[in-house]
Amino acid sequence: MNYNKIAQTDRQSIKRKFMSVVFILFITAFGFQSSVTSAMTADVGPNDGPVVTSYAEIVSRVSPAVVTIHSEGHVRANEQSLLDDPRLRELFGNRMPQDQEQQSRRRSALGSGVIFSPDGYILTNYHVIDQAEQVKVELTDNRAFDAKVIGADKPSDLAVLKINATGLPVLPLGDSDRMRVGDVVLAVGNPLGIGQTVTSGIISAKGRASGLSEGSFEDFIQTDAAINQGNSGGALVNTAGELIGINSQIVSTTGGSIGIGFAIPSNMAHGIMDQLIKSGRVRRSKLGVGIQPVTSDIAASLGISHVSGAIVSSIESGSPAERAGIRRGDVITALNGSPVTDTNSLRNQVARVEPGTQAIVTVVRDNREQQIRVTVSELVTSEKIAASTEENTARNGGRLGISVEPMTPALAEKLNLDSSVHGLVVTRIDPSGPAADAGLRQGDLIEEIDRKPMNSVSDLTAVIQSAGTKPILLFINREGQTAYRTLRLH
């Protein structure tokens, strides 16, 4: 028997089997790789679509509806002058140059805005147009318009403008509540005045309160899309080209973007915008409770399993909460069925309820959950009180170009005056009014007008109503120094 021939045949058979196994392994590996590649492709991009490599189409639709806003106003130089410091005034012999007292300077602000109606309504930030006497809007096609402020709301940092134009491009409103952390967003605006700029990023967080604006209603969308000065009031849009936020603030250690920007959610902006257009102001509600966060220790001590909600620490006398039976120590966990995560979310939820209507407050008391019906009342902010005071003084002291309030011991101490003095304190002054022309300043005490004592606003009203064409004689007290000033009514 030819053993060499048999061995050769066996070697060839083994080789053929080995190659078959290798081929099968190759095919299997290729199939596995194809499956992985397919799976990876399927996971990338929305709705199992292809990977997005450009946002150019979205930007081309969005950018015409984002505008640049220029605002200008006067700021009295003496309101911010170093010479208002009594120690520095001594260097001038307690005399301030007359031109310094009456000088005013221009205040300019640059921001962005979003067109939301074809007939010229524009949404922007309150701080962009604050104290503005003139507002101009520039479109991307280089047209420019004078704008009228329809309404402004400082607590939300929102304002609505109107320009005289039709057929304008509009940015559709999206549902900010449906946006998720990690969703891609684009920020559009005019940073630092260099021209319209688009930056991209993701939603970094939701429901943020920056704490940068005391007393404001904050429910920010946080994003790492670059936002800088001039972006304020501009658009934050999703990949469908919808407005989901109005860029408002940044947190920065440098003054520029470090990837921590905040936008007002479109759902909040929409509700405020509608109220501003309808009535020029925003109405909010209150429960009349003091609240604080539920910490892990508080939750443990109360036997609550979830560290969320807001614990009632105080109740305002005569408030809706007191009338409804809410007690100190109650933990509010929901309002009208919507969960309360923290104190900020409760504050925003209550504010959105229409004043005078009922709300269902869910509380945990003695380890038992119960629902309490509360008829909320309107929240009266310091801004509304100030507006009411201004309206009153506008009727009485408006012809002088000033706002005043009666002297009190607290004001006397603040102004370094003897507590026995009486009169009207100038709280605000119009730089272009008669009082400013006469050299009056904020903080001056008007003791007499035409030799008549000024102890109330009604005293001022009577003098102004009886004033003719002759100059009015004022006796003023400024930091203990008294003098006569004359002025003519405009």
User: Pairing between strand 338-339 and 331-335?
Assistant: antiparallel
Question: Nearest to residue 405, comparing CAs of 388, 419, 425?
Answer: 425
Residue type, 469: T
Sign of the alpha-carbon dihedral angle for 349, 355, 358, 364: positive
**Cα–Cα distance between 214 and 226 in angstroms, integer?**
24
**Burial of 472 (C-beta count, 10 Å sphere; 0-12/13-18/19+):** buried
For the residues of 190-251, what is the DSSP string, one character each?
-GGGS--EEEEEEEEEEEE----STT----EEEE-S---TT-TT-EEE-TTS-EEEEEEEE-
Tracing tokens 């005045």 back to the chain, one arrives at 193
CATH class of 382-487: mainly beta
Contact predicate 163/137, CB 8 Å: yes
Equal fold, 285-378 vs 382-487 = yes
Give me the pLDDT at residue 33, please: 45
Mean pLDDT by 10 residues, the chain (490 residues): 47 55 45 42 48 88 96 60 40 42 65 96 94 92 94 92 96 95 96 94 91 70 94 95 94 87 94 92 91 91 89 90 94 94 90 93 93 92 48 54 81 78 86 83 89 84 76 87 81
Residue 211 burial (C-beta neighbours within 10 Å; 0-12, 13-18, 19+): exposed
Alpha carbons 405 and 304: distance in angstroms, whole number: 50
DSSP readout, 101-127?
HH-EEEEEEEEEEEE-STTSEEEE-HH
Q: Helix, strand or coil for residue 385?
A: helix
pTM value > 0.85: no
Nearest alpha-carbon partner for 459 in 379, 415, 404: 404
**Number of residues written out for the chain:** 490
CATH architecture for segment(s) 285-378:
Roll (2.30)
Amino acid 466: pLDDT: 77
The string of DSSP letters for 13-70 reads HHHHHHHHHHHHHHHHHHHHHHHHHHHHHHHSSGGG-PPP---HHHHHHHGGGEEEEE
Residues classed as catalytic: 127, 157, 232
Cβ(336)–Cβ(360) below 8 Å: yes
Domain ranges of the chain: 3-48, 56-283, 285-378, 382-487
Q: What is the pLDDT of residue 19?
A: 55
According to CATH, the topology of domain 56-283 is Thrombin, subunit H (2.40.10)
